[in-house]
Chains A and B, each alone.
Chain A
């Protein structure tokens, strides 16, 4: 690229038309025609100088003096032409440089913007990650606090009830013996016989009731895993049975729960978390049945365990109300609940999913609104 300060040639200063016109003017002024050109035409030509530089050669004219005068005049003219040329070139150079500078700055700005954008994205991502960690921790905290309080309560209740129910059971059995003895010494009147029969029935019912209380206490102990360490060998079927009993108790034994439990091996796991999960799933099923249309017929919950492809499959299926399609993607979200405020935490399925994952398993939910819901939990045998 030429710089603005490069010495201009005759062609830079004058176009061919302008040169022709200048030659005509000079020729008109002088006695004989004058010719100005870039190269030296002959020995008698005189140089036209501008800025110490020979820009052209002037020939023709009547004599040396005339040629010299014309050359001086052209040099004088050239100065003004060159001034314009120089200023224009400089302006061009400066503008180009300014533009290039602007473009550079623009590029730098763009790069910096991209950097900040990336940084901001990164920050957003980090914030999102942090938020999800916080949510997760919060939920685990909540869940473990709940579990602990339920466990403590259950342990307390179990402990308090175990003793009295023990002596109540044993006293009732002794009382039955006494009643037998009494019957032998009492006169055999019809009134006495009726009384004794009724007495026996009362005691039998009471013994049965005490047995049920003892069994609930035992289920509560299993459920809260008071006696168990964090991870231990779990009998899935017995955990399920305990959970079923508890749900039955909660729903006043009005549920029809069908158990099809195959013999499955024990797995290493967290019994209270698994119990909680089974209880949650069963409770969901029971609620779905209660929420179902009244004309739907009797509700039923099917609980199955089986072994398939090396995994334990636990199926809890109901023919209740089902889950509306628009809610289905959200059911595993923490704190999502379709129930009235206060009656559900919105953590049941979340905890179930987390528990399944924590045990290396999966949780799968199929539901159709109005037809029912089927939850499949798979646990690896280990």
Chain B
């Protein structure tokens, strides 16, 4: 849930990158850190890893200021994907405003995707969130690896869900990362605008919201 402090005119939102182990959640965040040039961007905090695997979480704060003086912050978190870190996942997921589900496109990982998605549903329920109303994007990562499940098959499989169409990505190359993020921002805006009237009270339109938080970093355009 959004954290609004009227005293500071500060609105803090939380987006969580969820998914099975080694699906590329941290890579997504690292790419966003280097590819994006939002109005405000903090340091990417990679908390602790072991063998390249997240133990706690990663966090990237970005933000913008509305003409009304609204200090809008967006904190992007990743969760540890490994099964045994479930209580950490739950703690990070609590009070989330949006979720990016990063799935692995490799055929061998489809069971893990399903398990992780089930775990997401379960944990959302435990922290009091509703998967049907929570802004969410499903990304199938690692499209650059040969032999992945064909996009058509994945799209068909997910066609009946609220998260269709899926976003295809190759996070290591930076493909699809910003696109995923923009779709999420768009869905997030719908919910946040309802409650905080970003357009009327703070003069932040949907287009501005998405654009100002996901501007391309000109220095990284070659990446």
A interface residue numbers (CB < 8 A to B): 3-5, 7, 50-52, 79, 82-83, 86-87, 90-91, 93-95, 97-98, 101
Contacts and interface: CB of A to CB of B under 8 A. Distances in A.
B40 A52 contact: yes
Interface string B93-130: 01100000000000000000000000000000000000
Nearest to A88: B56
B45 A82 contact: yes
A65 to B, nearest CB: 22
A50 B40 CA distance: 12
**Nearest 5 A-B pairs (CB), nearest first?**
A94-B87, A98-B87, A94-B91, A51-B42, A93-B91
A5 B40 CA distance: 19
Given A87-B47, A87-B48, A87-B56, A52 B88 contact: no
A97 B87 contact: yes
B189 interface: no
A139 to B, nearest CB: 59
Interface of B: 12, 14, 40-43, 45, 47-48, 56-57, 59, 61-63, 73, 75, 77, 87-88, 90-92, 94-95
B90 A94 contact: yes
A79 B57 contact: no
B42 A52 contact: yes
A94 B73 CA distance: 24
A86 B57 CA distance: 9
A90 B43 contact: no
A79 B59 contact: no
A51 B61 CA distance: 6
Contacts of B95: 3, 5
Nearest to A75: B43
A55 to B, nearest CB: 12
A79 B45 contact: yes
A261 to B, nearest CB: 85
Contact of B47 (A52, A83, A94, A95): A83
Contact of A4 (B12, B41, B73, B91): B91
A320 to B, nearest CB: 79
B89 to A, nearest CB: 9
A22 B47 CA distance: 23
A101 B90 CA distance: 12
Contacts of A95: 87
B90 A97 contact: yes
B40 A90 contact: no
- The secondary structure that dominates the A interface is helix
Nearest to B45: A83
Contact of B57 (A51, A90, A101): A90
A5 B90 contact: no
Nearest to B73: A52
Contacts of B42: 50-52
A7 B94 CA distance: 16
B88 to A, nearest CB: 5
A83 B95 CA distance: 20
A86 B48 CA distance: 11
B75 A5 contact: yes
Given A97-B90, A97-B91, A52 B61 contact: yes
Given A52-B40, A94-B91, A86 B14 contact: no
A343 B43 CA distance: 101
28 contacts: A3-B94, A4-B91, A5-B75, A5-B95, A7-B12, A50-B43, A51-B61, A52-B40, A52-B42, A52-B62, A79-B45, A86-B47, A86-B56, A86-B59, A87-B47, A87-B48, A90-B56, A90-B57, A90-B91, A91-B56, A91-B88, A94-B88, A94-B90, A94-B91, A97-B87, A97-B90, A97-B91, A101-B87
A87 B56 CA distance: 6
A4 B59 CA distance: 12
Contacts of B12: 7
Nearest to B95: A3
Contacts of B59: 5, 51, 86
A50 B43 CA distance: 8
B110 to A, nearest CB: 28
B84 to A, nearest CB: 12
Given A51-B61, A83-B45, A90-B57, 17 more contacts: A4-B91, A5-B75, A5-B77, A50-B42, A51-B42, A51-B43, A52-B63, A82-B45, A86-B45, A86-B47, A87-B47, A90-B56, A90-B92, A94-B90, A95-B87, A97-B87, A97-B91
Nearest to A93: B91
A97 B94 CA distance: 11
A7 B12 CA distance: 10
